[in-house]
């Protein structure tokens, strides 16, 4: 069974031709060009599909799955105002693509696709119930229950980033105070980092920041941490601890005790994971302590694309 999986990100579109979602037969990518009109982005998607279809007969392709960064009307295949694709509004993307290519199209949210990819091919294999977190600008999640994506009432489930961890905490983009995303999202982390690195002017991170203060990114934190920089390790560990608070709340509410951590920051490794585990274990109900399992996601940037390809399975 041949399917195509497409992951639309804010900066690039990744697409693969897969055998049953699993083996990647061919892959390609294009810039998203989100800063142009939506037709431009859609034609970038079409270019990806066209390139992949050069490898097979179109009639052999059972379906195209698309992961979109935003809310989806699943039944009708309509994208709703994706925050990182300005100017999209309401777009019947499934119809647009299936008419053009005469292939069935299914959409889902990108975090759901990433979790589904891990469920089928990554760290979620043989796990019926888990939450797949994607740490990036925000904190997305796909909730997998019984091996399937849990969508909720209208398809909006999994807004893990908007679990409150401190009701008097910093203002979040969503308008609420103290969401876990307001602590753990990339921008907040970097804002937190600045006073800390000023206090450690001999640290690796400070030297990087001096060299290029505008572009200090989480990858700098994780690289500096790996090289033993204490300030960077502390920032990552604190980030992990905050994530652990929300993980404990979610585990208690859902009775799901496996959490897979993916996305850019997850590559930061030990200090982040140590912080998560320390805080989640200390906070979760006793009944969950032994089964709590926090693991790195395995598929990296391919998770969303592979999950999208398996939407059609």
Residues near a copy of itself, by CB under 8 A: 71, 128-129, 141, 143, 151-160, 162-168, 174-177, 242, 245-246, 248-250, 252-257, 282-288, 291
Query: Which pair of tokens denotes residue 208?
Result: 């990087």
Residue 64 or residue 180: which is nearer to a copy of itself going by CB?
180
Q: Are strands 61-68 and 105-109 parallel, antiparallel or unpaired?
A: parallel
Residue 176 or residue 226: which is nearer to a copy of itself going by CB?
176
Nearest approach in angstroms of CB 82 to a copy of itself is 12
Nearest approach in angstroms of CB 136 to a copy of itself is 18
CA 9 to chain CA centroid, nearest Å: 10
Residue 240 CB: number of other CB atoms within 10 A? Answer: 26
Nearest approach in angstroms of CB 241 to a copy of itself is 9
Nearest approach in angstroms of CB 287 to a copy of itself is 6
Query: Which pair of tokens denotes residue 246?
Result: 């929300």
d(CA 9, CA 26): 19
120 contacts 306 by C-beta, under 8 angstroms: yes
Nearest approach in angstroms of CB 159 to a copy of itself is 4
d(CA 155, CA 74): 7
Residue in 79, 73, 70 with CA at minimum distance from that of residue 112:
70
d(CA 184, CA 96): 36
Residue 212 or residue 291: which is nearer to a copy of itself going by CB?
291
Nearest approach in angstroms of CB 214 to a copy of itself is 31
Query: Which pair of tokens denotes residue 55?
Result: 């490898």
Residue 146 or residue 195: which is nearer to a copy of itself going by CB?
146
Residue 109 or residue 310: which is nearer to a copy of itself going by CB?
109
Query: Which pair of tokens denotes residue 17?
Result: 């031709």
Supply φ then ψ for residue 310, to 5 degrees: -90, 0
Residue 59 or residue 286: which is nearer to a copy of itself going by CB?
286
- DSSP three-state, residue 144: strand
Nearest approach in angstroms of CB 148 to a copy of itself is 12
Residue 35 or residue 90: which is nearer to a copy of itself going by CB?
90
- DSSP three-state, residue 94: helix
């Amino acid at each position: 069974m041949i399917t195509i999986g497409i992951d639309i990100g804010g900066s690039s579109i990744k697409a693969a031709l897969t055998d049953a979602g699993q083996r990647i037969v061919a892959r390609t990518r294009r810039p998203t060009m989100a800063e142009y009109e939506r037709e431009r982005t859609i034609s970038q998607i079409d270019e990806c599909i066209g390139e992949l279809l050069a490898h097979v007969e179109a009639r052999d392709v059972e379906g195209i799955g698309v992961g979109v960064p935003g809310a989806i009307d699943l039944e009708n295949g309509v994208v709703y105002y994706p925050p990182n694709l300005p100017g999209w509004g309401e777009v019947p993307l499934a119809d647009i693509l299936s008419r053009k290519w005469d292939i069935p199209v299914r959409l889902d949210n990108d975090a759901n696709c990433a979790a589904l990819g891990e469920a089928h091919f990554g760290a979620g294999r043989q796990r019926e119930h888990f939450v797949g977190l994607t740490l990036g600008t925000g904190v997305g999640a796909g909730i997998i229950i019984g091996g399937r994506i849990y969508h909720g009432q209208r398809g909006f489930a999994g807004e893990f980033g908007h679990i409150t961890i401190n009701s008097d905490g910093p203002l979040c983009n969503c308008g609420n105070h103290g969401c876990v995303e307001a602590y753990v999202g990339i921008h907040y982390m970097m804002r937190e980092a600045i006073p800390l690195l000023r206090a450690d002017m001999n640290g690796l991170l400070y030297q990087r920041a001096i060299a290029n203060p505008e572009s200090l990114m989480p990858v700098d934190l994780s690289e500096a941490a790996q090289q033993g920089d204490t300030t960077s390790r502390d920032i990552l560990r604190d980030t992990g601890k905050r994530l652990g608070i929300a993980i404990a709340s979610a585990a208690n509410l859902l009775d799901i005790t496996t959490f897979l951590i993916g996305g850019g920051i997850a590559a930061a490794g030990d200090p982040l994971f140590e912080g998560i585990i320390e805080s989640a274990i200390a906070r979760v109900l006793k009944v969950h302590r032994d089964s709590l399992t926090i693991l790195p996601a395995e598929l990296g940037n391919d998770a969303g694309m592979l999950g999208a390809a398996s939407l059609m399975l």
